A and B are shown apart, each in its own frame.
Chain A
Amino acid sequence: MTLSVCALRSADMTTDQEKNELTQTPLLKIWVPWLGMGGCKLNRRRGSSVPQFTNSPTLIVMVGLPARGKTYISKKLTRYLNWIGVPTKVFNLGQYRREAVQSYKSFEFFRPDNEEAMQIRKACATNALKDVVIYFSKEHGQVAVFDATNTTQERRVSIVSFAKEKGYKVFFVESICDDPEIIAQNITDVKVSSPDYLNCDKDEALADFLKRIECYKQTYVPLDDEKDRRLSYIKIFNVGSRYLVNCVQDHIQSRIVYYLMNIHVTPRSIFLSRHGESNMNLLGRIGGDSGLSPRGHKYATALGTFIKSQRIKDLKVWTSHMKRTIQTAEHLGIPYEQWKALNEIDAGVCEEYTYEEIQDNHPEEFALRDQDKYRYRYPKGESYEDLVHRLEPVIMELERQENVLVVCHQAVMRCLLAYLLDKTADELPYLKCPLHTVLKLTPVAYGCKVEHVFLNVEAVNTHRERPGNVDVSRDPEEALKTIPDHF
């Protein structure tokens, strides 16, 4: 995690002594200059584990014929950027059009000679860009994804000048595909169920949509090697078999390119599970590196049986470096890989404590954690925010892989789940990830289908809800109200 701190030039700072004085912020455990009674006048911007991604807001502009995966890419990219801490939002032009033209009749709306429709579509684009401005200037957005066909040079030129005028960087993402099977599959997956085709049968929808595509084809001018050589863009060919990358300007664009080059659309499933119940779990203690309890071993065996029954092709199994996940994997009878990055959140001075002991020894810390569980960092330990950064390479590799079973820990699983199910930083630390339950996640349409499978082996509950009173001044009972039972 990084923090951008501007050097102080305030008149208050006179002595060298004061200049070197630092204080550690109680929640994040970040050292910042101490301004004494003057208070903090620092311009603080927080990013993820990397420095300022960019100085200006970035406008990502999708380009491509309908059914080329633009919305799929837009949503996925947005989910990824938000997860790594870059506030991002999608602006889908189709949505604006649906709001303007309450009911969709047919592909005729998209004919290039339909003057009235053209006016409406242009107005929608203008409104969307207006909302982009609001997102950047008033809502602290950093990246906006403008999801539309943007298939003409003229449209793209106007977007570029709009961005230039406002001081936004522009990065184009063009998806080019001429494989009729992929296009047909896209249409079946996401168009047939679109609000546009609410009362149509599948064949009607397909026929109409194909005609819609034809309307765009006539005026489609792809990004050009020569004419567009000064633009920043990535061209994705045939769902990723080839990429053309031009003029990457900064860090965030480089990360976006890396991400886009690692994702694929091959059907597969991701299985997430915690280790079996551990001896520490039984005692209500957090952290540590203990082994499995007898019930934990039972679960691991059950997990092995479950996995076998799923008949998964080429399953990869990943564990952390901690004994309890490895013991669990040992029962599966499949080769597994150990990732240090999958280790449970480091609770620092609170390692191996019960919540009661934390309340006894560090009541203030305990309260701070309840106030902002995502950003709270244990003294000499980590925060969920740190965890997300640590897990980014795991997510990148998960994207590259196909069928994977990840045997991990509560906080880690919450982070991975939040990425896969697009949960916010506020929801993330309270996601329910009970012991002895496998989650099967299967990408479908624009999201992820989740199946919860409880493997019928009892275990303690380790989920602690946010209590009513999170104030530092609260009574111990109020703090301990939501603690789950343990021995």
Chain B
Amino acid sequence: MTSNEYHIMATSPRELTQNPLKKIWMPWKNGLFVHILQRRVCMTNCPTLIVTVGLPARGKTYISKKLTRYLNWIGVPTKEFNVGQYRRECVKIYKSFEFFHPDNEEGLKIRRQCALTALNDVRQYLTVEGGQVAVFDATNTTRERRWTITRFAEQNCFKVFFVESVCEDPDVIAENIVQVKLGSPDYIDCNTEEVIEDFMKRIKCYENSYQPLDEVLDRDLSYIKIMDVGRRYLVNRVLDHIQSRIVYYLMNIHITPRSIYLCRHGESDLNVKGCIGGDSGLSGRGKEFSKCLGKFIQEQNIKDLKVWTSQMKRTIQTAEAVAVPYEQWKALNEIDAGVCEEMMYEEIQVHYPVEFSLRDQDKYRYRYPKGESYEDLVQRLEPVIMELERQENVLVICHQAVMRCLLAYFLDKSAEELPYLKCPLHTVLKLTPVAYGCKVESVWLNVEAVNTHRDRPENVDISRMPEEALFTVPAHQ
């Protein structure tokens, strides 16, 4: 037994008390909460080092950034370390592909040094800064380099998972170069032809020494080999839960161009009254919006659009007006406000002033009594995100808190920013993946609606006056 277990045995059963913010039952001793395990994604004790492998322009950075965004969203602190960035800081000016020539001794020295510096930062992040996953984004095309990394990981008790991207389709490679290399700091004063020519030569520098992960030689390593942008995968020795989730995610993403439309239901009767939650129908203006939404969608002329709603009346009423088959997801239901359902903020302040201030203190983690938190919502929405990744053109008609969670995923917003993202009624957001991120177009459909956005007030203390609490409540009937 571990010392932790001895301690528990000696004092079991321990008194329980419910943590006021998250409403979690925890053991309570001498007036202090005792640490217990909450189900988190990463239950492993060892941090994980993800190592990309592949020639330039194979999507390694795209995958690194996307994976990092996903892991952070589901609550696994993750950071990427791009060796190209380290190289740019070291060698201020990029001259040409010659830097990457295998005979360029000086270049090799610098590149090796950059990799080691990056690994040092990885160690810092995973051991001291509370990180759980680090993504080491570099070509790592030689067995020797990968062996150095594996040894480094062993010394530090990190688990290693390789992600190799293999692609020989010249069209895909050319498109990559156009999408992300043209705009690279390396090529600031070059025209398109110059960039392509230089970059192709750069790729050539790596090709001769490239040793892909081998089925036999590397059979003891944990890795996924992605071939031809996801047509085919080879998965070897998945060790734990987080690696399994990473594999599942990588196998569901694609790069086919598409757009995701996010909007809330039309204004509802409860919105008008300033009440939260509930399951009311649309107001007159809400119905007006639905009609405009239908027209807008038609005008966009979207190929094979899928429409998703929650199982609440107001989103379904909205979808009915779009006149396209839609699917109802219970997972898209609005955050459950528990005992505060259908209350106005003023009523919450009257009946639950402590709860109201706790929520302002940590809106992401705060769970309504007998309800949910944003943190719970994210967990509930994960299958929706996974399916959104698989799909192409989708319109999601949902709710304020839900839309904030989805938006935070696409725009890489932190847990602190998420609950305050602006998602006003009667506005459609069109998200289109571009390069390493997402382009956002906001379309206001010209139908008035109440504002339902409540900013964080100055005073979040339990002892505050009611006026201070209600300062930022938006106007309503």
Contacts and interface: CB of A to CB of B under 8 A. Distances in A.
B321 A19 contact: yes
A395 to B, nearest CB: 13
Contacts of A482: none
A403 B422 CA distance: 46
Contacts of A96: none
Contacts of B18: 323
A338 B37 contact: yes
Interface stretch (B49-57, B118-126, B130-138, B323-331): B323-331
Interface string B320-352: 110111111111000000000100000000000
How large, as a class, is the contact surface on chain B?
35 or more
A16 B291 contact: yes
Interface string A1-12: 111111100000
Contact of B390 (A241, A251, A291, A400): A251
A20 interface: yes
A344 B1 CA distance: 31
Contacts of B37: 335-338
Interface in B263-300: 279, 281-282, 287, 290-291
B16 A2 contact: no
A326 B238 CA distance: 31
A151 to B, nearest CB: 22
Contact of A389 (B219, B330, B376): B330
For chain A, give the interface size range: 35 or more
B151 interface: no
Contacts of A105: none
A33 B328 CA distance: 13
Contacts of B387: 50-51, 251
A257 B251 contact: yes
A7 B323 contact: yes
Interface string B45-74: 000000000000000000000000000000
Interface string A313-352: 0000010011100110011111111111100000000010
Nearest to A4: B327
A4 B313 CA distance: 15
Interface stretch (B197-205, B241-249, B428-436, B438-446): B241-249
Interface stretch (B101-109, B228-236, B463-471): B228-236
Contacts of A7: 320, 323-326
Contacts of B329: 2, 49, 51
B24 interface: yes
A297 interface: yes
Given A251-B390, A330-B14, A22 B281 contact: yes
B179 interface: no
Given A257-B251, A386-B330, A340 B379 contact: yes
A56 B88 CA distance: 51
B330 A20 contact: no
B312 interface: yes
A337 B241 CA distance: 15
A300 interface: yes
B331 A31 contact: no
B156 interface: no
B235 A261 contact: yes
Contacts of A241: 236-237
A33 B25 CA distance: 42
Interface string A55-72: 000000000000000000
Contacts of A49: 329-331, 383
Contact of A19 (B43, B320, B370): B320
A83 B251 CA distance: 23
Interface stretch (A107-115, A157-165, A171-179, A242-250): A242-250
A332 to B, nearest CB: 7
Nearest to A382: B330
A20 B287 contact: yes
B39 interface: yes
A24 interface: yes
A262 interface: yes
A93 to B, nearest CB: 28
A3 B327 contact: yes
A246 B231 contact: yes
Contact of B236 (A6, A242, A257): A242
A5 B329 CA distance: 12
A366 to B, nearest CB: 21
Contact of B244 (A16, A297, A338, A400): A400
Contacts of A126: none
Contacts of A6: 325
A244 B227 CA distance: 11
B4 interface: yes
A219 B370 CA distance: 62
Nearest to B14: A330
A332 B12 CA distance: 8
A254 B325 contact: no
A29 B69 CA distance: 36
B24 A338 contact: yes
A357 B342 CA distance: 24
A258 interface: yes
Given A300-B13, A332-B12, A340-B39, A2 B327 contact: yes
Contacts of B330: 1-2, 49, 386, 389
Interface string A458-485: 0000000000000000000000000000
A333 B39 contact: no
B311 interface: yes
A327 B16 contact: yes
A342 to B, nearest CB: 9
A3, A31, A254 interface centre (most CB from chain B within 10 Å): A31
A52 interface: yes
B320 A33 contact: yes
Contacts of A297: 13
A223 B183 CA distance: 43
B379 A261 contact: no
Given A22-B316, A31-B317, 9 more contacts: A2-B329, A49-B331, A52-B327, A261-B247, A321-B25, A327-B16, A333-B9, A341-B39, A386-B330
30 contacts: A1-B330, A3-B311, A3-B327, A3-B328, A7-B326, A16-B287, A20-B287, A20-B321, A22-B316, A24-B313, A29-B311, A30-B311, A49-B330, A51-B327, A241-B237, A242-B237, A243-B233, A244-B232, A245-B234, A251-B390, A254-B390, A258-B244, A321-B23, A321-B25, A326-B25, A327-B16, A335-B8, A336-B36, A338-B39, A380-B279
